A = this chain, B = another copy of it.
Amino acid sequence: MRSGFLFYDMFVVEVIGTMVFAISGALTAANKRFDFVGVSVIAFVTALGGGTIRDVLIGSLPVGWMQSKWYALAVFCGVVLAYVFYKKLQILRKSLFLFDAIGLGVFAIGGFQKALAAGIDPVYAIICGMITGTFGGLLRDVLCNDVPLIFRKEIYASAALVGVVVFFLFQNVFLLPVVGFIIAVSLVIGIRILAVKFNLGLPKIKID
């Protein structure tokens, strides 16, 4: 029953993660002065883009979110919340940051699990996990005509990588998926907090 716990509860966490990512996308689009359609598309893409790319790559089609109305509802709620509480959310950015970190961890581990369940090699399943966690934001930035944040920002994709690898070890070596899941997500959150607080970054190639 290793995955029995994870599947039901992760669905709930994933729907919440979808809403939080949708809010973050909607706020970005609103700052760009996009109209309601633009804000909704960007929210949708930010929230579900990473999982969509993973599903397409592993051939799990129709894409996952089409199988439950909860995902569309979560995005819709995210957009409505962003419209109604626009000013408050700007102030709440710090708590949003926390949710974003939770979403990052949950999405990455969930994406990794789904790829593994589809028979993908673990190395590529880890890559699928990172794609699930980060490519929604990548698509958001491409559609907004920005240079993607994950290429410049403090440790982000690498926090997801650490989370997925730690979860992988707990699940397969220690056979403790639930404990591993909690530890891994906490790790992702912790790394993100430290990275932002101390403005940490990864090495760049030295030019000149």
Residues of B close to A41: CB separation below 8 A:
150-151, 157
Among listed A17-25, A27-35, A104-112, interface-contacting one: A27-35
When distances are taken between beta carbons in the complex, the residues of chain B under 8 Å from A170 are none
Asked if residues A205 and B62 are in contact (CB atoms below 8 Å), the reply is no
- Docked CA distance A144–B146 (Å): 9
Number of chain A interface residues as a range: 35 or more
Question: Can you tell how many copies of this chain the complex includes?
Answer: 3
Task: Please measure, in the bound complex, the distance between the C-alpha atom of A117 and the C-alpha atom of B120, giving whole angstroms.
Answer: 23
In the bound assembly, the distance between CA atoms of A84 and B1 in angstroms comes to 46
Evaluate whether A62 and B69 lie within 8 angstroms (CB atoms) in the complex, with A33-B207, A146-B145 already known. Answer: no
A33 contact set on B, CB distance < 8 A: 152, 204, 207
CA distance A207 to B61 in the complex (A): 39
In the complex, A39 has a CB within 8 A of chain B: yes
A99 proximal to B (CB < 8 A)? no
Please tell me if the beta carbons of B147 and A145 are within 8 angstroms of each other in the complex.
yes
Measured in the bound complex, the distance between the Cα atoms of B143 and A146 in whole Å is 9
A54-B150 Cα distance, complex, nearest whole Å: 26
Q: Which of A5-13, A121-129, A178-186 contacts B (4 or more CB under 8 A)?
A: A121-129
Q: Does A57 contact B (CB under 8 A)?
A: yes
Q: Which one of A35, A57, A63, A147 has the highest number of Cβ atoms from chain B below 10 Å of its Cβ?
A: A35
Q: Is the beta-carbon distance between A205 and B86 smaller than 8 angstroms?
A: yes
A208 → B minimal CB distance (Å): 10
Assuming the contacts A37-B156, A38-B152, A57-B63, asked whether A72 and B30 have C-beta atoms less than 8 A apart, the reply is no
Nearest chain B CB to A86 CB, angstrom units: 5
Q: A72-87: which have CB < 8 Å to B?
A: 72, 82-83, 86
Offer 12 A-B interface pairs, CB within 8 angstroms, sorted by A: A31-B207, A33-B152, A34-B204, A35-B151, A36-B203, A37-B157, A56-B56, A57-B66, A66-B120, A69-B123, A72-B123, A145-B147
